[in-house]
Structure 1
Amino acid sequence: MSTSWKKGLATVASISMIGVLLAGCGTSNGGGNSAGGASNTASGGTSTSDNSKPVEGGSITLDLTQAVPDLDPAVAFDTTSAEIEQQVYEPLVTYKGSTNDIIGDLATDWNVSQDGKTYTFHIRKGVKFSNGDPMTAKNFVYQLQRILDKKMQPKPSPGASFFLNITGAQAYYDGKAKSISGVSTPDDYTLVIQLDKPEQFFLKILAMPFLSATDPSFVNKVGNAAFDTTKAMGTGPFILQSNGQNKVVLVKNPNYWQKDSQGNQLPYLDKVTMNVNNNPELDSMHWEQGQTAFMSPWLIGGDGIPTVAYPTIMNSPKFSKLVMKEPMNSMYYIGLNVKKTLDGKPNPLSNVKLRQAIEYGFDRSQYVKLENGADKAVNEPMPDSIEGFVKNLDPSAQYTYDPAKAKQLVKDAGFPNGVTLDMWNTNQSTSKKEDQAFQAMMQAIGIKINLHEVTFKDFLTKAMSGDAQVFFSGWNQDYPDASDFLNTFFNSNQIPENNMTNYSDPQVDQWLNAAEFNASASDRDNLYAKVINKVMSEAIFVPTTETVGHWCVQPWVHGFYTSNITYDPMAYIWVDPGHNS
């Protein structure tokens, strides 16, 4: 199992929200994310709710499996980075606790025009960046310009395509305009965004970290490269004290604007130390011994409990009662790059028969066993918990484990003596076990797999360039909708950063684009079913397992709640008096 996910890039809100948003000519939130801390732990989902009065101060220590690849909210696009981003930065809107309800964050409230194309946000007054600079509406305009700067160095934002429906965004992105015509700031605390066409899911796009408030004077001072690696600075509850390959340290932001329902200043904690430790045995041991405050899918990756420790923790009366569970709406898959040439050489995987051979030669039950049953098998490119999952795939889109058929397909593809492929993955112990299992499966059907197991950051660099021939990856929702998976995986406009297999089919693009703005649930389901059946019949990638999240939280940690959309709620966590870890 990969220990970190590449973060999803969603494009459509759930259909249940469409009526609310289109009718929302006065959607508002009455002041802050009251979903946090002592006041929010009962807001839905699983939480460590109690009636104790929160205690200010204290610190916690956590294990983080991977070093943080990116800190710049315009650039970061993985779960490890997003765990840190949520503590340092804030967007216009966010989710209430563990629910799917959108509430204001740096916007107190907003209005949507009758035609659904104009959003007017009222920006929270009195908010400061952690260095003391005031936050205004112009900070969002600046960040949007950074997102849409395709020449931004050292690397551009992978989230630009999300915002191209904003009027004038495409012209700005193409370098044909010096400003984004559809964005304006009538005053310091009003932000107006005009869309080319109604986008029912626009608020959920804004809830992602990309368009967080950033300070132009600070970014210009330190430069984009440092801003992405060591010099993060936002309006969030914590300040980044240091970010290294071995440790990440966050300290309380004294300028943070938010208070809990009792008037206590957030965050409660003074310090959070995250030790980068890619040894899952140590991760679990540290928690079992009380050295770390909690383990979570966002910190540890996968389902949140290291595979090696899953039986011990779940079978222990002492530990099992400290585990919270929630479906993650995430999945793992083996991507098969269909590009005609790679590194100047013909790519054997451009042959559909060879890709189908891999499908028939893969036994996903082995992966379930390697994960000790924590996850379950999946046979299409999104979890079965997502609306639009196809219960009965077309015969051409179904693959049973059939090594004999796989061997014949390798020969039919023109490789009677077998073929060699390069596979890329992270260098974690759980990943290595699955790599070796896949390698053995492929060897049995005449395919030799050369393994390249690298750091998560190097893996992202390789895979997101579109140059990884075979790769093992995971995808975690931005919010629960089929488009979050299907549009991202298979739309041509997502090549190569998100559509890392380089798959391009005009018919699939047409179906995906039609579904994007369709308000009919049945129509969308039908279009997505066509996409799923076609891409599976063409064997673009091999779905492996889907994830159930597990959070292991110490009894002395309070205010904790789970979410499969947002990250660990460190702003609302407090610890027993005198307890520091």
Structure 2
Amino acid sequence: MTASWKKGLGTVASIGMIGALLAGCGTNGTTGNASTGGNASATSGKPVVGGSITLDMSQAVPDLDPAIAFDTTSAEVDYAVYEQLVTYDKGTYNIVGDLAQSWDVSPDGKTYTFHLRKGVKFSNGDPLKASDFVFELERLLDKNLQPKPSPGSQFFMDITGAQAYYNGQAKTISGVSTPDDYTLVIHLDKPEQFFLKILAMPFLSAVDPTYVKQVGNAAMDTTNAMGTGPFELQTNNQNQVVLVKNPHYWKKDSNGTQLPYLDKVTINVNNNGQLAAMHWEQGQTAFMSPWLEGGDGIPSSQYPTIMNSPKYKNLVMKQDMNAVFYYGLNTAPTIDGKANPLSNVNVRKAIEYGFDDSQIVKLNNGAVKGLNQPLPDSMEGYVKNLAPSAQYSYNVAKAKQLLAKAGYANGFTMDLWNENTEGAQKQDQAFQAMMKQIGITVNLHEVTWKDFLSKSMSGTAQAFGSGWNQDYPDASDFLNTLFNSNQIPQNNMDNYSNPQVDQWLNQAEYSTNQQQRDQLYGKVINQVMSDAVWVPLYQNVGYYCVQPWVHGFYTSPVMYDPFATIWVDPGH
């Protein structure tokens, strides 16, 4: 499968390239289609304190600083070291308190008052204060932050005074206050149904101002870290990350035992997927996951071996991921000064009817799920029954009829841009062959990830292969970001502009009525698919290979690997 997807303001290539990341919440209290295999996550007996685990990770950590980290590799480590005001209950979409023991929301949905836990300390022993979050928010909104500004500032601009602070017109953020050391008040200009989901992202983590000022921002992003999380950083370099137990961690399990159970986690950087799979098969590593290995979590070369092996398949846990992949069709009238046939909706519909999505699922060894719209079926707002005009089936004759209607009875030539990975090349070649059947010649341009981003995000790629992984699990993060005309061309790379769609998106963005939001987003999805802006490819499924001697492991639709609750059998 292709390993890249676009998120937020930036892009993530598997778990390496810098890009946007998760967060989230929702209203479900289940893990959707998550399932466990065998005793992979069994927690039989009382947890054992102590021990260590070793893991492989395909890329080195780009950013340790939670204000800057915006990629999956960094988040895997940051969530073990830092904590936020709120987080998610085990394996669910339900928001629960983390460093905030409780919170109140004003009737108009604009003011949040957080009551912090008392007695929480950073791993160096410094006490947590409400002002620490203000300090971090000021770092987030400092457009001159060195060595680079936060890519997460966009998520906090609805806080009163945030824009003025960001623009350098104010020395403080007027919408944030701390009545005492354990109370944090945040006031918004507009109500946001998803604001708590944003707070569960790594950006507004608790950081120790004294420590940050002591070591400097550059060290915070590369070699030093100081959080309130279950682990503290011992080592971070291009070859290895080492985490050790935070002796001051505040959280205990239901038996009163202080977490985490493990003393140490060693993560070796290894970009050889086949070797990483061999290490796990030989018992050298504790588990493989999408956050460590990228893609679907199992290196593609070893997927058939592991999933068809009686020895290994019962050690695999599966979790639907809120990530979608697609071919984008540029709707601009002209591209590079030339008329663009894809600006004709009948041409785009012809491409939809000429596409056989079952072939793409087969190319991915059946490891992915089919997709017929811009939202994964695990996301609230997913439309179970699309309007007839928004549905397409594989129909070569219908595709040819639509091309003739559009004035292209003899076909035409189009350009498709994608990254130069083995998975992308296989999919592009299959698409190329499908289009040939209906009379369209597809020229493939498979380039480096950097060059692909430069081309597609400039809005000049006629067609392109891309994907989207949630910043936070809310339909707005997909639909408003990818189809609102105000996102052209950086995120809305299709140059899609529909005033009615914009109106629905803008209304839903700040509505506090979830039913109304779902209805509006349903209209958006039906219209976008009726306009044939995307050819949906598939939605991602995450596979977690967990050793039988590893306990306390669970999957989540929104969170990363649960280092705090993992324990191992004695001897391991």
Q: What's the TM-score, normalizing by structure 1?
A: 0.82
Change (3 A) 1:502 1:172: farther
**Is the counterpart of residue 487 in structure 1 residue 458 in structure 2?**
no
**Is the counterpart of residue 446 in structure 1 residue 441 in structure 2?**
yes
Contact 2:68 2:149 in 1 (8 A): yes
Aligned equivalent of 1:421, options 415, 423, 429: 415
Partner of 2:86: 93
Partner of 2:541: 548
**Is the counterpart of residue 372 in structure 1 residue 365 in structure 2?**
yes
Structure 1 residues 204-243: Cα deviation after superposition (integer angstroms, max 9, x where no partner): 2211222111234444455545533444432222233344
Structure 1 residues 514-558: Cα deviation after superposition (integer angstroms, max 9, x where no partner): 123334455333321221123223333321111333221101111
Contact 1:424 1:452 in 2 (8 A): yes
Partner of 1:149: 142
Change (3 A) 1:234 1:500: farther
Q: Secondary structure at the match of 1:227?
A: helix
Q: Secondary structure at the match of 2:508?
A: helix
Give the percent of matched residue pairs that are identical in Structure 1 and Structure 2.
66
Letter paired with 2:64: L
Partner of 1:305: 298
Partner of 1:525: 518
Mapped partners of 1:250, 1:376: distance in 2? 35
Mapped partners of 1:326, 1:317: distance in 2? 20
Structure 1 residues 264-323: Cα deviation after superposition (integer angstroms, max 9, x where no partner): 332222322223333333332222221211122222233322333333323322212212
Partner of 1:322: 315
Contact 1:334 1:544 in 2 (8 A): yes
Instruction: Please state how far the C-alpha of 1:379 moved relative to its aligned partner.
Output: 1.6
| Structure 2, unaligned runs of 5 or more | 9-20
Instruction: Please state how far the C-alpha of 1:431 moved relative to its aligned partner.
Output: 4.0
Aligned equivalent of 1:283, options 256, 276, 279: 276
Aligned equivalent of 2:65, options 72, 88, 102: 72
| Structure 1, unaligned runs of 5 or more | 18-40
Q: Secondary structure at the match of 1:135?
A: coil
Letter paired with 1:433: K
Instruction: Please state how far the C-alpha of 1:349 moved relative to its aligned partner.
Output: 8.1
Contact 2:24 2:93 in 1 (8 A): no
Instruction: Please state how far the C-alpha of 1:122 moved relative to its aligned partner.
Output: 1.7
Change (3 A) 1:461 1:154: farther
Partner of 1:257: 250
Mapped partners of 1:482, 1:550: distance in 2? 24
Change (3 A) 1:153 1:373: same
Matches within 5 A, 1:217-232: 217-232=210-225
Mapped partners of 1:116, 1:12: distance in 2? 18
Q: Secondary structure at the match of 1:175?
A: coil
**Is the counterpart of residue 385 in structure 1 residue 378 in structure 2?**
yes
Q: Secondary structure at the match of 2:295?
A: coil
Structure 1 residues 128-149: Cα deviation after superposition (integer angstroms, max 9, x where no partner): 3334443311121122223333
Q: What's the TM-score, normalizing by structure 2?
A: 0.83
Instruction: Please state how far the C-alpha of 1:192 moved relative to its aligned partner.
Output: 0.7
Partner of 1:178: 171
Quick check: 255-264 or 367-376, which moved more?
255-264
Change (3 A) 1:159 1:466: farther
Partner of 2:157: 164
Mapped partners of 1:154, 1:408: distance in 2? 56
Structure 1 residues 67-118: Cα deviation after superposition (integer angstroms, max 9, x where no partner): 4343332333333332222112111011111122222111122222344332
Q: CA RMSD in A?
A: 3.6
Q: Secondary structure at the match of 1:275?
A: strand
Matches within 5 A, 1:473-512: 473-478=466-471, 480-494=473-487, 498-501=491-494, 503-512=496-505
Aligned equivalent of 2:191, options 185, 198, 208: 198
Change (3 A) 1:538 1:180: same
Letter paired with 2:447: H
Change (3 A) 1:349 1:540: farther
Partner of 2:3: 3
Change (3 A) 1:10 1:54: closer
Matches within 5 A, 1:41-56: 48-56=41-49
Letter paired with 2:417: M
Contact 1:166 1:196 in 2 (8 A): yes
Letter paired with 1:3: A
Change (3 A) 1:366 1:417: closer
Letter paired with 2:343: N
Change (3 A) 1:393 1:259: closer
Q: Secondary structure at the match of 2:418?
A: strand
Instruction: Please state how far the C-alpha of 1:157 moved relative to its aligned partner.
Output: 3.3
Contact 1:11 1:487 in 2 (8 A): no
Contact 2:232 2:246 in 1 (8 A): yes
Mapped partners of 1:506, 1:160: distance in 2? 27
Quick check: 70-79 or 98-107, which moved more?
70-79
Change (3 A) 1:417 1:541: closer
Aligned equivalent of 1:567, options 545, 553, 560: 560
Aligned equivalent of 1:351, options 343, 350, 360: 343
Contact 1:2 1:426 in 2 (8 A): no
Contact 2:3 2:294 in 1 (8 A): yes
Partner of 2:102: 109
Contact 1:172 1:179 in 2 (8 A): yes
Letter paired with 1:424: N
